[in-house]
Structures are given as C-alpha cells and as structure tokens.
Amino acid sequence: MPEMTGAQAMFEMMVREGVRYVFGNPGTTELPLMDLFAERGDLTYILSLHEDSALGMAVGYAEATGRPAVVNLHTAPGLAHGLGNLYNAKRAGTPLVVTAGQQDTRVMIEEPLLYGDMVDQVRQYTKWAWEVRQASEVAAAMSRAFRIARTPPTGPVFLSLPVDVMERSAMIDLPPHTAVAARTRPEPGSIEAAARILTKASSPAIISGDGVARAGAVAAVVKLAEAVGARVYSEPLNSLLDFPTNHPLYCGPLFANAKQVQEQLRSADLILLIGVNILTPLVNTGEKMLPARAKIIQIDADPRELGKNYPAEAAIMADPLFAVEELIETITPMLTGSYSLEVIRRRHVVLSEVADARGKFSAAATSASGDGTMTPAFVAREMRAAAAKDAVLVDESVTSTAFVRTIFDLEQPNSYFYAKGGSLGLGLPEAVGVKLAMPERQVLCAVGDGSALYSIQALWTAAHYKLAVVFVVFNNTSYMILKGGLLAMKGSSAKKGVFTGMDLTEPAIDFVRLAESLGVSARSVSHASELRPALDWALAEGGPTLLDVTINRDVRSVLR
C-alpha cells in the first residue's frame, strides 16, 4: 500500500479510469491537484473561463464518448456558477464526475471566505454527492464516483475535496476498476405480453428516447419500426440522436407543447415509449401530451420512469437494446397472413404521408425571400448541404431548433447533441467537448444569439486548443421564443407589439468582433447569397470559426 497525498490519489485514479481530459477553472483550493499536471503528462487540463462552460465541455465530451468526464471547480461559488449545466446533465443522464475544492476542514467552523455546504448545494442534481474528510478516502471515493456515474441510469456525481485533505499524505489503497454488468433483460413473459398488445394495434407509433441512444439500440428500433410499420418520433427535447432523421418512417421530433404533440399523435391507438423521460409540456395548459385513447407500452432501464406520468398496459424495466431485440424476435413469427398484409399496407401509408409532409415542409420553410432575408430553415438547409455526411450537429438554436433538427438530416448515431434540461448556455461549450472527443469529424454548432451569450467565453477555449468547430449564430437580435410566448398569451404585449426585456439591441451585439477578440475567425452573413460561401470558408479554415447569420425577425406564436 503506497503512501501518497490525496491529490496524488485522485490523479492516479483518474489515470486508471482512462480519463484523458479534466475540464475546469482553478482556484486556490485546487492548487495541490493543479501542481500534478506540471509533474505528470498522463492527463490534459482543459481550461474554461467560466465554470458553467467547463461543465458544458465535460457534458459534450461525456456524451460523445459515452464515458464519465471529469470536471474540477472552485469552492461553493464556482460550483454555483456551474449549476445550470449540471442541471442539464442531470436531466439528460450525462455521466459526469464533478469535483470541487473545499476550504480547509480545520477552519470550516469559522465559515471562511468561499466556504459553503456543497454537498447540500448539489444533492438534487446528482446521483451521489459526498465530501471527503480523510486523504485515505480519496481513492475509494473516486472509484465509487466513476462506478455510480456510468451505471444506468447514468448521471452526474459530485465530490467535495477539502484542500487540506488533498495536501495530506496517507497509506492509500488504490482499488481496482469495477465493471458493473448493468444491462438488465426483461422479466420473462413481459415481452410476450407487449408483443400481443403491439400486434393488435391498427396505428402504432414509437417514441424513441435518449435511453435508446445510450443503449446503442437505434438500429434495433429502426428494425422494429420497419417490422410493424410504425410511425417513429424522437422524444421532446432529445439530447442525442435517437432515430435516423432521414429514415422514411421518421415523422420528426416531438416538442414540449401538449397541443402540438396531441396533433402529431392523433391517429395513434398504441404508443411504444422506449427510453423516454420527457413527456411534459414546457408550459402547462391543462392538457396532457399523449392522447387518452392510445394504449401505452413502456420500456426503460430506469424504474422511476415507468408509469411516472402515464399508465402503461405493459411496463418493462430492461435495457432498451435487449428489450427491443427480444420484442423483434417475438413478433417476427407473427408476421404472416393477414397481419403481414396489414403491416405492408400500413407501412405504405406512413411512407407516403411522411414523404408528402417533408416535401411540403421543405418547400414552405427553406426558401429565402426576394430581398435575401433568411429563414432558420434556409440556414439549416445550407448547413446540411455544406457539411460532410457524417458531420456532428450541436444544437442550442432555441426558437430555430424546430427547423434545425428537422432540416439537418442525420443518420449516424452519436451525431446530434442538445440541451435537454433547457438551461441555456450548453451549446457553445458542448461543441468544444464534442470536438475534443471526435477530432476527426466536422462539428457544427447551431446556437441562438441569446443563448450564445450565456457561455460566449467557450470560444476562447476552442481557439486556445485549436479546435475546428463551426459556430453558426442564428441572430434575430432578441429572445424570440419569449416574444412568441407573449404573442400566444394575447395580452398587452401582443396587442401593442411591445416585448419588454426581450430585444438585444441599442447597442446591437457585434458577434464578429466579439469572436475575434477571443481568437476565433468570424464573418457576418446578412444575405442568402452570402451563406453558402461563408459556410464553405468556415469548414475549410482549419480552426474555430463563427458565422453571425441574420435571420428573419417575424414573431410567431409558440409554447401554447
């Protein structure tokens, strides 16, 4: 059993767990750890200029690699700064090991500067939170943190690390890596029951959630949808690519709007929910999102999600990949006779309806006006045309996301990332983390002008580490989604056309100069004819680039 400091034990455990990058913004309580980066070359420290950006970068890296990423923050205020993206990580199930330096245990009773109860601060946003009080505990705490973070249902964990604990030496046993076999198979008989319900449906729909992507079950869900001729939707605010968006059975994403989802699912008499955890509207209107007439089958690895908001005819706690594969195996012998003919007929109807809807949407939404004004859909179409087929899209375009995620077709798993929790400020740093994880692939970030300003300092990190991300700002000089919400309320703002606190003007924000001051090459695009050449330039530049793209500023009713 070797003698080492708490900081050395933490560093060694990160190396043993296969960590490559540590994301953070250091302070005095982190100095014992920071000194080790100068001593050893096993890990690379990625500097963020703000703690919430550090969290966002770690989220991107963890989502892209499927492994827990490590974040190191500074005391209670630094942790507080990171709560926005920690919330996003919690809602999305992102595996993170979040650490923060704490004040010296010997003076905590005096409540020194920067001290706070950080465990209590983050308990509701983590799977496990703990403050280490002895150097001898550091390795065991790190080992447990990694294990909990990566065990389904995955999510963030937190460790508070007092500075004196990190400086002290102790005889420390470094525990070996524990691999948890966490993929659970369905209970015997549950799949047969689900198959019977599914095969009796005349108009089945599948909602594919992030649990599908995390389980590597996208291809299996495609096979199931094709087998039964089901319409497929991705869950509202999906943070990952849960189904190929160019598949002929894909009817598009659902949105956090009860009225809209009811309309999308109006013909379904059976809804199969797989790995879904967002089925509530952003704004409560007294309506449920799923139609009451539809029967529900639900598959999820997280028992908390089963029957949480909707009763299910069959609720199966299992790994989505295992469950879907067994469901296909059970249904396949049934695909004969009249049922087979019904599936063929249903598939033909769905294919025709989806193709027709896509054609109408594309024609109506992607044209530029005669004066060169661009719609969000036009920008998304040009991005898709300019980018490589296997390009990765990080999306935080907010008001524009309905068009971005519909027009920018993606078929490869691990090629789409979004802020599922809805806390703004994830897009820019998440794209940085994704690019670190996948340096060989093009990474484009679609971001609204308002949301970009929550974490604009992430551009510096992209420039500092020479990460070739293309940041496309959808600039309508306002918090447009809020204007749309006020328009839907039909109150004084809608009548007068006055939207208090929602315009980013007087002065207008110059994103080009802002980006250039942070080391990122940038161009302004205000006319449709300028967009494709600008995208080609940005993709070929070889470093981080930003395009400030002026989109139309028409206010449309949303949220209700």
> pLDDT per position in the chain (560 positions), as tens?
799 999 999 999 999 999 999 999 999 999 999 999 999 989 999 999 999 999 999 999 999 999 999 999 999 999 999 999 999 999 999 999 999 999 999 999 999 999 999 999 999 999 999 999 999 999 999 999 999 999 999 999 999 999 999 999 999 989 988 888 888 999 989 999 999 999 999 999 999 999 999 999 999 999 999 999 999 999 999 999 999 999 999 999 998 888 889 999 999 999 999 999 988 888 888 888 999 999 999 999 999 999 999 999 999 999 999 999 999 999 999 988 888 899 899 999 889 988 888 887 777 666 666 677 899 999 999 999 999 999 999 999 998 998 898 899 999 889 999 999 999 999 999 999 999 999 999 999 999 999 999 999 999 999 999 999 999 999 998 887 887 777 878 888 878 888 888 888 889 999 999 999 999 999 999 999 999 999 999 999 999 999 999 998 877 767 66
3-state secondary structure of 411: coil
* Tokens read off for 175: 């525990």
* Tokens read off for 224: 């199931």
Domain segments of the chain as ranges: 3-171, 190-354, 366-550
CA distance 392 to 404: 13
Cα dihedral sign for 452, 454, 459, 465?
negative
Same fold, 3-171 and 190-354: yes
| Upper half-sphere CA count for residue 107 (Cβ side, 13 Å) | 10
Give the CATH fold of the 190-354 domain. Rossmann fold (3.40.50)
* Pairing of the two strands 169-171 and 3-5: antiparallel
Residue 53: which residues within 8 A CB-CB, separation 6 or more? 85, 425, 428, 429, 455, 457, 458, 461
Q: In 10 A of CB 310, how many CB atoms?
A: 17
What type of residue is 148?
I
Residue 183: which residues within 8 A CB-CB, separation 6 or more? 152, 215, 319, 321, 322
Where are the alpha helices (H) located in 123-257, listed in sequence order?
A: 138-150, 163-167, 190-199, 210-214, 218-228
Helix axes 31-39, 6-16, angle to 10 degrees: 60
Burial of 403 (0-12, 13-18, 19+ CB in 10 A): buried
Give me the residue label for tokens 């999820």. 300
Residue 51: which residues within 8 A CB-CB, separation 6 or more? 24, 25, 73, 74, 78, 79, 81, 82
Give the CATH fold of the 366-550 domain. Rossmann fold (3.40.50)
Give me the residue label for tokens 């594919």. 208
Closest CA to 380 of 462, 244, 371, 391: 391
**What do you get for the CA distance between the two ends of the chain, in Å?**
62
Cis check: omega of the bond before 507, within 30 degrees of 0: yes
* Pairing of the two strands 314-317 and 392-396: unpaired
Give the CATH fold of the 3-171 domain. Rossmann fold (3.40.50)
Per-residue model confidence (pLDDT) at position 404? 92
Closest CA to 14 of 22, 6, 5, 4: 22
- 551 DSSP 8-state letter: B
Per-residue model confidence (pLDDT) at position 492? 84
* Tokens read off for 232: 């497929």
* Tokens read off for 110: 């005096």
Per-residue model confidence (pLDDT) at position 28? 95
CA distance 68 to 17: 9
> Is 240 within 8 Å of 417 (Cβ atoms)?
yes
Per-residue model confidence (pLDDT) at position 124? 97
Per-residue model confidence (pLDDT) at position 357? 84
Per-residue model confidence (pLDDT) at position 368? 65
> Is 134 within 8 Å of 195 (Cβ atoms)?
no
Q: List beta partners, residue 417.
A: 394
CA distance 441 to 363: 30
CA distance 109 to 424: 36
Per-residue model confidence (pLDDT) at position 362? 75
